[in-house]
Amino acid sequence: MKKFLVLLLIAAAPVIQAQDRMTPELLWKLKRIGEIAVSPDHTTIAYTLREYNVSANTSESNIYIVSINGGEPKPFITAEGTEYNLAWSKDSKKLYYLAKGKGGYNIFAAALDGTSAAQISNFRNDITGFKFSPDESIVVFSKDVKLESYTGYETYKDMPQSNVRIVEDLMYRHWSDWEDGVRSHIFFTSVIDGKVQGDGVDAMNGEKFDSPLKPFGGIEHFTIAPDNKSFVYVCKKLSGVDFATSTNSDIYSYNFETKKTTNLTEGMMGYDVDPDYSEDGTKLAWLSMKTNGYEADKNDIVVMDLATKKVTNLTSGFDLTVDAFTWSPKGDKIYFRSVKEAVYQLYEYDFASAKLNQVTSGDHDYTSLAFAGDYLVGGRQDMNHPTDIFKVSIKKGEQTQLTDVNKDIYATVKTGPVEKRWVTTSDGKKELVWVIYPPDFDKTKKYPALLYCQGGPQSAVSQFFSYRWNFQLMAANDYIIIAPNRRGLPGFGQEWNDAIRSDWGGQPIEDYLSAVDEIKKEPYIDSTRIGAVGASYGGYSVYYLAGVHENRFKCFISHCGLYNLESWYGTTEELFFANSDIGGPFYGVQPPQDYIDFSPHRKAHLWNTPMLIFHGEQDFRVPLNQGLEAFQALQIKGIDSKMVLFPDENHFVLQPQNAIIWHREFYAWLDKYLK
C-alpha cells in the first residue's frame, strides 16, 4: 500500500478567498511536469507537461525541451492528445515518444526542431511503453493481451447480453480494476531504416503473468543489454493465493537468439524491480527488498557481475531506503534518491571507495534523477511549489532551476512559512513535525489547526506537493497544519519504519497525540479549534483517534480509511500487506491481537465528534464497505456526519471536477466546525 499512496494523494479548498492565495481552482490550473529525459550528449532536456481543463474535465500532456544551460523552454510536440514515454536517439538529434496514431498508441520520432514528427511503428493495437536497444536496431515494448475468459458472455456464447463475472481464484480484482483476463506482456521487434517492423514477438509466450507489474509498473521494469543480445524484465510469476500473499517479483533475462528465459534473482524473495545495465554491459543493478510479503521493507541497490553472477548489496550499510538510481557512463558510480529526515535527496555511491556521498541538501524533495555529465538533473518540489526541473553540480552540490512552469500563477500567490520542529514522543524519542503557517501569518492572532495523518502507512511526510492534501491550500484557508513523521515512516532508519507493524493503533497514534499536544501550546493556536484529517492509513488514524482523542479534536475528515479490520481483510486484494502489517487473517484459533486492540470499529461506541467521510466506490485496496460501515455507526449514534462518495474514483480522486467538489466539501466541513 505504501508506495502507491505517497506520489498520488491530492487536496484543496472551496471558495475563492482572495487573488493572492491558493484556491482549488488555481491548484488545478497548475501545470504538472512529468517525465524528464536528458539527451545522451547532456545538452538538452525533454520533459512532459500536463495541463488540466476543468470545464471539459480532461487533461493533455505535451512535450517541451530546455537547454541544460537554462534559458526559455520551448514547445516540442503539442499535438492534440497526450504524448509520453520520452526516449532520445543515440546521436541526440531525435526524440522518440508515444502518441495516438494509426492503429492506436504508436511510436513517433521527431527531429529537435519538432517539425518532422512521424509515426515509425504500425502496431495494430495500443502499446503502453517502449525502449530501444543502444544501437536502435531493436525495440522492446509492452502491450496488453487477452489470455483468459472471466465473463458470462465469453464462457456462454449464446448469452451475449449477460452481465456476469465468473471468479475461481484470487486476485479477482486489483487496485481499481476487476480481473478481465488481460495481461501486460513484453514484445520485441527489429528496426530497419528507422522503421519499426511488424507487430513483434511475445517474449513471454502467452504466460498468464504481467510485465510490467500492474497496476503502476512502466518502462522501468524492462531494459535491453548493451550488446543487443538480450533484455531483462520484471515479473511476478505467481497466481491465485500465492500472488495475493507474496511480493516475490523476479528479474528475468530473455535471449533474442536462443529464445531462452533465465531467472536472474532465483532465491531473492522480496520485490526485485527496476533493472538497469552499466553502459559497458558488465553489470546489472536493480532495487531489491529481502523480505517476501513486506512491501515496505528496506529497498537496496544490488549489483550483479554478469560474468561471475556475484550479487553485491551496495547500500546494506545505509540505514535508509532507496527510491531510484542511475549509472554514471563509466560504471564507476551510481547516483540514487533516498528520503532522509523527511526530505528526498540525491546521493552518490563510489565503487572505488565503496562510500556514499550526499549530493543535495535543503528542505525540498527530488522526485527523479538523470545523469548529465558534471550534473544530475531531476524534478524538485516543496510544500509550497509543484515540480520544476533543476540541475545539480555533482562536485559542489549547487542547484540551479531550469524551468518555472507556473511562474505566472505564483507571481500573484502568497505562500506561508514552513517550520521543522522536533517533538518528544510519549516513549522519549524525537519525532520530526512539519508546521505549515498561513500566508501573512500573525503570531498575535489565534488560528485553528489541523492534524494531518499520513497514509501508506509507510510513506514519508516529506516536502511533497500534493494536488489533494495540499498544505499550501490548507494554510491559505487560515489553518495551521501539524504534519508529524510518526512511527512507521521512512527516512529515520529502518527500525522507525518497521515499528508500525502489528502496532497500528499503538505508538503511531501516540506520536500523533504527542505532536498535537506539544504544538498546540503555541499561543497562536486555538486549542479548542483543532481538526484531524487523513486518507488510507491516515483515514484509519482518524477513525481510531475518534475513539481515543479525549476531546482534543472538534471535527474529523476520513478519506478511504480502514474502519473494520476484519471486514477489510475479507475484501482487500493485496493480502501480503494485511498479513505483514496486521499479522494475518482474523479467523482461526488465535487470531492476531491487532483485530481486537486496534480496529477502529471496536471503539465506535466512544465516538462523539462530527465526521466527514470520503470514499471512492472503485477503491479495492480499502473497499467501499469501510466508509459505509463507519458512516452507519455515526448516523446510529446521532453524531453529525456526512458521506461523499465518488462512483468512478478509486483510492484517489483523479478527475478535475470531482476533485474540486472534494475540495469544497472538505473546507466547508472544516469551516463549519473550526471557524
Residue-wise DSSP of 593-634: THHHHS-GGGGGGG--S-EEEEEETT-SSS-THHHHHHHHHH
- pLDDT of 597 above 90: yes
Which pLDDT score is estimated for 35?
Answer: 98
Stretch 656-661: mean pLDDT: 98
Stretch 340-354: mean pLDDT: 97
Closest by CA to 514, choosing from 472, 486, 492, 494, is: 486
Which pLDDT score is estimated for 9?
Answer: 36
pLDDT, averaged across the chain: 96
Which pLDDT score is estimated for 1?
Answer: 43
In order of 285, 324, 582, 621, the CA distances from 5 in angstroms are 26, 17, 18, 11
Which pLDDT score is estimated for 18?
Answer: 42
The DSSP H or E segment spanning 532 is: strand 525-535
The DSSP H or E segment spanning 327 is: strand 322-327
Closest by CA to 533, choosing from 542, 543, 525, is: 542
Tell me the helix, strand and coil percentages in the chain, rounded to 5.
Answer: 20, 35, 45
Closest by CA to 583, choosing from 574, 568, 593, 571, is: 593
| Cα 667 to Cα 662: distance, rounded to the nearest angstrom | 9
Stretch 561-565: mean pLDDT: 98
> One-letter amino acid identity for 219?
I
pLDDT level of residue 19 (50, 70, 90 thresholds):
low
DSSP state of 9: -
* Pairing of the two strands 70-77 and 58-67: antiparallel
| Cα 343 to Cα 363: distance, rounded to the nearest angstrom | 6
- pLDDT of 11 above 90: no
Which pLDDT score is estimated for 217?
Answer: 97
So what's the architecture of 412-674 in CATH?
Answer: 3-Layer(aba) Sandwich (3.40)
First and final C-alpha spacing in the chain:
34
pLDDT level of residue 4 (50, 70, 90 thresholds):
very low
Stretch 222-243: mean pLDDT: 98
- pLDDT of 13 above 50: no
- pLDDT of 141 above 50: yes
Stretch 116-135: mean pLDDT: 96
Which pLDDT score is estimated for 370?
Answer: 98
> One-letter amino acid identity for 625?
N
| Cα 394 to Cα 374: distance, rounded to the nearest angstrom | 6
Q: Give me the helix-helix angle, 537-548 and 507-519, nearest 10°.
A: 70
Stretch 363-383: mean pLDDT: 98
Instruction: Give catalytic residue positions.
Output: 536, 619, 651
pLDDT level of residue 482 (50, 70, 90 thresholds):
very high
Q: What residue segments make up the domains of the chain, in order of their start?
A: 106-409, 412-674
Which range is least confidently modeled, 19-23, 104-108, 367-371, 559-563? 19-23
- pLDDT of 15 above 50: no
- pLDDT of 84 above 60: yes
- Please answer whether residues 98 and 110 qualify as being in contact, where contact means their C-beta atoms are separated by less than 8 angstroms: no
So what's the architecture of 106-409 in CATH?
Answer: 6 Propeller (2.120)
- pLDDT of 128 above 70: yes
- pLDDT of 606 above 50: yes
Stretch 286-297: mean pLDDT: 98
- pLDDT of 14 above 70: no
| Cα 362 to Cα 124: distance, rounded to the nearest angstrom | 48
Stretch 297-303: mean pLDDT: 98
- Please answer whether residues 369 and 276 qualify as being in contact, where contact means their C-beta atoms are separated by less than 8 angstroms: no
Length of the chain in terms of residues written: 675
- pLDDT of 639 above 70: yes
309 conformational bin, left if phi > 0, alpha if psi -120 to 50, beta if neither:
left
- pLDDT of 16 above 50: no
Dihedral Cα 168, 578, 492, 368, nearest 10 deg: 20
Which pLDDT score is estimated for 7?
Answer: 35
- pLDDT of 434 above 80: yes
Stretch 553-557: mean pLDDT: 98
Stretch 268-286: mean pLDDT: 98
DSSP state of 172: S
